[in-house]
Amino acid sequence: MSADTIILDAGEHFQKMTARNRYDIAGANNAIKLSVPLVNGRNQHIPISEVQIFNGERWQTQHWRTIVSVYNRSPYFEHYAHSLQKLYETEFTHLIAFNKAGIEWAMKQLKMKPELQESTTYLKEYPEAVKDLRSFKRDESISFKYHQIFEDRIGFLPDLSILDLLFSEGPMAVKMLK
């Protein structure tokens, strides 16, 4: 939230089993895992800028219907739905383009003002002054709780997509993240 610049490392090699092509949302019984299908699957040894999305499946329609099904009764769904739906109606050929569009959407909703840059040259390590989140582990998740739509049934679910926080808390998400 306080960064001046966010750098998307388009030169890093795709890492399977990471948030680069997957995200979790709340479900009535547990977290629902949504994955963006990839051409050549998850075993790729190419820069993330070259990873292509497999659009032979209707994954965007599936993801959008799942989001609507889960969150349509959440307090702030209607506030964000129209602009988010556009993201799921746009066909993306490359994973980095979908990720960048999703980050830009979230930044706009959170009123974040950092410059979003894309680096094409892979750096194994960034200078100490740069917070490198490429190897962020899920167990390093947010340290606050907020009201979740199914919390009364299944308890609080950590590590969900920013969508869950926005649909549950709306504009208060900004203050919570700060």
Q: What is the DSSP secondary-structure string of 61-107?
A: HHHHHHHHHHHTTSTTHHHHHHHHHHHHHS--SBHHHHHHHHHHHHH
pLDDT for 134 beyond 80 = no
Q: Are 132 and 123 in contact (CB under 8 A)?
A: no
Measured distance between the N- and C-terminal CA atoms of the chain, rounded to whole angstroms: 6
Number of separate domains in the chain: 1
pLDDT for 139 beyond 70 = no
Q: In whole angstroms, what is the distance from residue 14 CA to residue 46 CA?
A: 6
Q: Which residues pair with 32 in a beta bridge?
A: 25
Task: State the pLDDT confidence band at 45, using cuts at 50, 70 and 90.
Answer: confident
Top pLDDT among 120 and 117 is at: 117
Q: Which two tokens stand for residue 150?
A: 């199914």
Q: Which residues of 117-156 are buried (b: 16+ CB within 10 A; e: fewer)?
A: eeeeeeeeeeeeeeeeeeeeeeeeeeeeeeebbbeeeeee
Per the structure, the complete domain to which residue 132 belongs is given by: 5-177
Q: Which residue has the tokens 């009364």?
A: 152
pLDDT tens, 68-97? 999 999 999 999 999 999 999 999 999 999
The pTM assigned to this predicted structure is: 0.88
